[in-house]
């Protein structure tokens, strides 16, 4: 009972903090045909996968530079399903950056494989060829590459390095929709890539994800795992031990409306980033995350680095500004055994990193207020 009470208190504390934020960390932008398409779905009385899911998948494949897209209830489901479809499982090692969302190592464990944590490039917050090479084992079957905050680190060279060793590149491009590297969509790299449509992503369906690939066999396998182990609904033969990982027609209707405004939303996010960039120019206490020079970016977050990220976040939150820290390194999580390996760049990024409010709906006045509050912290 005590643990349940502690959990309730922690959640209530979180709710109270969020409710006091006058400038939220993030909020989605719904200003198109979301309500119109939702009404169409409800009036049609078919709320499971239908025409909007198929249209959503078609548009995602087009944007992402892959032949096929499969919609899921969330991006974690897409990761699990994709890895199972590739045959990754018991006894296999999968390299993953310690600086990642828990969904990445969690999905590796869920398919029976072992997450092998690696350090990151301090400049980009992503894996580099050198990081991967130092983490290779004789059981490495895949690398789960995370495009941190919409950034990348020469993913083309990573793909080439892994192809020469017959190791799969799994591309977590969850926050990188519409981002490009050297003229290619970032999500076009890898045996498969995934996207997320959670509330804080460039386009949102509340929850939701997608798997993207050129491999027709992987699409077939993914669909079976997604549909309870069947080839499709209405088919009685169970070919795999599967899951119910389907997206709803209502989510997809919102997603289609969001894609119609994708360029507008991306431009708004870039405008927010550039205003921050201008405001912090030559401000010696703050460094902005450096995006790779070959990236055409859509910043997932406005990430800055300061001497003590935790203290600055507490100060900003006390002033009603929705600041957050970066992901707590996975190698330091007790569920993964508190690794005693050294990950200096990961630890430094976590110590210094701060995510500032970065919604496409932010006004110039709100961003200016964030500037002035950060400056007041430094006196």
Whole-structure pTM value: 0.94
Can you tell me the distance from the alpha carbon of 109 to that of 103, in angstroms, rounded to the nearest whole number? 10
Q: Residues 42-92: pLDDT tens digits?
A: 999 999 999 999 999 999 999 999 999 999 999 999 999 999 999 999 999
Supply the pLDDT for residue 20: 83
Q: What is the mean pLDDT of residues 32-36?
A: 98
Can you tell me the distance from the alpha carbon of 108 to that of 81, in angstroms, rounded to the nearest whole number? 10
- List all residues 6 or more positions away from 164 whose beta carbon is below 8 Å from its beta carbon: none
Sign of CA dihedral 240, 214, 186, 257: negative
pLDDT surpassing 70 at residue 200: yes
Q: Residues 309-325: pLDDT tens digits?
A: 999 999 999 999 999 99
Q: What is the mean pLDDT of residues 96-111?
A: 97
Three-state secondary-structure class, residue 363: coil
Query: Which of 255, 225, 204 shows the shortest CA–CA distance to 55?
Result: 255
Can you tell me the distance from the alpha carbon of 245 to that of 256, in angstroms, rounded to the nearest whole number? 19
Bridge partners of residue 146, in order along the sequence: 172
Q: Which domains does the chain have, with CATH numbers?
A: 2-27+262-377 (3.90.1150.10), 34-260 (3.40.640.10)
Can you tell me the distance from the alpha carbon of 311 to that of 351, in angstroms, rounded to the nearest whole number? 10
Can you tell me the distance from the alpha carbon of 126 to that of 186, in angstroms, rounded to the nearest whole number? 13
Q: Residues 110-153: pLDDT tens digits?
A: 999 999 999 999 999 999 999 999 999 999 999 999 999 999 99
Tell me whether residue 315 is exposed, middle or buried, using C-beta atoms within 10 angstroms of its C-beta: 0 to 12, 13 to 18, 19 or more.
middle
Contact 189, 212 (CB under 8 A): no
Q: Residues 330-376: pLDDT tens digits?
A: 999 989 876 667 899 999 999 999 999 999 999 999 999 999 999 99
């Amino acid at each position: 009972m005590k643990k349940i009470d502690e959990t309730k208190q922690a959640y209530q504390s979180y709710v109270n903090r969020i409710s006091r934020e006058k400038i939220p960390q993030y909020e989605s932008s719904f200003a198109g045909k979301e309500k119109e398409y939702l009404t169409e779905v409800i009036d049609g009385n078919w709320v499971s996968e239908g025409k909007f899911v198929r249209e959503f998948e078609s548009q995602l494949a087009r944007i992402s530079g892959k032949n096929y897209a499969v919609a899921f209830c969330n991006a974690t489901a897409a990761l699990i399903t994709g890895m199972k479809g590739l045959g990754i499982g018991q006894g296999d090692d999968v390299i993953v950056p310690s600086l990642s969302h828990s969904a990445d190592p969690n999905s590796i464990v869920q398919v029976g494989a072992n997450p092998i944590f690696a350090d990151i490039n301090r400049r980009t917050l992503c894996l580099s060829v050198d990081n991967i090479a130092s983490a290779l084992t004789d059981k490495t079957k895949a690398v789960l590459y995370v495009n941190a905050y919409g950034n990348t680190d020469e993913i083309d060279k990573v793909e080439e390095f892994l192809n020469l060793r017959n190791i799969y590149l799994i591309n977590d491009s969850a926050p990188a929709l519409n981002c490009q590297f050297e003229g290619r969509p970032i999500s076009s790299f890898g045996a498969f890539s995934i996207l997320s449509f959670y509330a804080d992503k460039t386009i949102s369906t509340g929850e939701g994800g997608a798997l993207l690939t050129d491999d027709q066999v992987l699409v077939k396998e993914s669909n079976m795992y997604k549909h309870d182990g069947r080839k499709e609904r209405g088919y009685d033969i169970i070919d795999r031990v599967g899951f119910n990982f389907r997206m709803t027609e209502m989510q997809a209707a919102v997603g289609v409306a969001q894609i119609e405004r994708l360029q507008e939303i991306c431009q708004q996010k870039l405008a927010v980033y550039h205003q921050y960039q201008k405001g912090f120019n030559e401000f010696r206490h703050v460094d902005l995350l450096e995006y790779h020079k070959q990236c055409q970016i859509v910043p997932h977050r406005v990430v800055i680095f300061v001497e003590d990220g935790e203290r600055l976040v507490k100060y900003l939150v006390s002033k009603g500004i929705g600041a957050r820290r970066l992901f707590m390194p996975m190698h330091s999580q007790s569920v993964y055994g508190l690794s005693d390996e050294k990950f200096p760049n990961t630890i430094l990024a976590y110590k210094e990193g701060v995510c500032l409010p970065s919604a496409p709906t932010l006004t110039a006045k709100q961003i200016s207020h964030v500037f002035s509050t950060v400056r007041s912290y430094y006196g």
